[in-house]
Structure 1
Amino acid sequence: MVYRAHHPRWAFSPLSGEGAARHGGRFNPPGMPALYTARRMQTAWAEAQQAFPFKAQPMTLCAYDVDCTDVLDLTDPGERRAQGTDGTSLACPWEDLASRGRQPPSWELAQRLRAAGIAAIIVPSFAAGATEEDVNMVFWDWGPDLPHLLRVIDDEGRLPRDDRSWGGKA
């Protein structure tokens, strides 16, 4: 099981990677969809609140069932070495590099692994105050079916089904 906290405005689309594809993220350049999740609820909250360190903003917290193959655990130093990367590359200042027109090493890694058929990676959290317990799972290939199953848990149908709850167009 993994968790994701996101802006309530997008609660009707908890499996979307569109925001990450539009803006990029630590492990995906713009144009490459990704779904960022965390292994613990506390980590998901911390990740989502990074832009608001002094005033926590409302978030929708979702839990997901995961049954996914083709996952690489980059919290393991041996696996990082096998993939030709290190902790410094994972923790690179990706936003600063991208803003200066430079390709972040974490984007290069993501593109290479995705092209090799890796569906997801397990990585340390780089949120402020993160500890070794704070681990993320970043998906590049996910859906409702095996071998890359990721399903939001909403057995009681609490999440909105479309954009109308916000007064927008569906």
Structure 2
Amino acid sequence: MRLQTVVYRAHDPRWAWAPNSGAGAATHGGRFNPVGIKALYTSRTFQTAWLEAQQGFPYKAQPMTLCGYDVDCENILDLTDNVVRAANNVTLDDLGCAWKELSTRKIEPPSWAMMKRLAAGGVVGVIVQSFAIGATASDVNVIFWEWDDVPPHQVKVIDDAGRLPKDMSSWV
């Protein structure tokens, strides 16, 4: 499907100069990407982005940079849809697996195997429910494995006023 919307991401302010790099996810891995594969984790609402970024500590808020992204992206799968999940052989157990615990034990999480299979088939991102602590059914994320500043895989940070820093020098 083609996704045309605005999504949000809250991230560590030190990385405000590279809000769409995906390097942090590649370095540490995530629910939907193994170490070594870039991913851009975004949310459908800024509230969900904040919830995701706080890593389960919503009452001990840490500083975050909240960015919006203009999306015009083809080859997205909406895995919140039961029919789409079934057609792509994806289960809720795959999506919600204990990925961190499995990867720590050197077992490939089902969510990583799913990501590799879908990406090999041309899928560049997925829409999924949030698995953050405190998330409800209305908390939805969009994870991209391939993106650019222009269509057909556009995920472009919105910074019309040029407020984001251009490099890391603001932290020196």
TM-score range, shorter chain: over 0.9
Show structure 2 runs of 5+ residues with no match: 1-5
Of the three residues 61, 66, 71, the one matched with 2:76 is 71
Residues 75-86 of structure 1: matches in 2 within 5 Å?
75-86=80-91
One-letter identity of the residue aligned with 1:34 = A
Measure, in 2, the Cα distance between the counterparts of 1:16 and 1:166: 18
- Identity percentage over the alignment? 59
Measure, in 2, the Cα distance between the counterparts of 1:132 and 1:54: 20
Q: Tell me how far 1:52 sits from its aligned partner.
A: 3.4
Q: Tell me how far 1:89 sits from its aligned partner.
A: 1.1
Report what 1:7 is aligned to. 12
The answer (yes or no) to whether the contact 2:39–2:145 under 8 Å persists in 1 is yes
The answer (yes or no) to whether the contact 2:146–2:153 under 8 Å persists in 1 is yes
Show structure 1 runs of 5+ residues with no match: none
Measure, in 1, the Cα distance between the counterparts of 2:92 and 2:98: 12
| Alignment pair present for 1:115 and 2:120 | yes
TM-score by structure 1 length? Answer: 0.96
One-letter identity of the residue aligned with 2:45 = R
Number of residue pairs matched?
A: 167
Q: Tell me how far 1:78 sits from its aligned partner.
A: 1.1
Of the three residues 27, 50, 63, the one matched with 2:32 is 27
| 1:54-89 alpha-carbon deviations (Å, 9 max, x no partner) | 411000000000000000000001111111111111
Q: Tell me how far 1:14 sits from its aligned partner.
A: 0.4
Secondary structure at 2:106's aligned position in 1?
Answer: coil
Report what 2:3 is aligned to. none
Extract structure 1 runs of 4+ deviating beyond 3 A.
Answer: 51-54
Secondary structure at 1:161's aligned position in 2?
Answer: coil
Of the three residues 94, 97, 106, the one matched with 1:101 is 106
Structure 1, 54-63 or 66-75: larger mean CA deviation: 54-63
The answer (yes or no) to whether the contact 2:22–2:38 under 8 Å persists in 1 is yes
Measure, in 2, the Cα distance between the counterparts of 1:121 and 1:102: 23
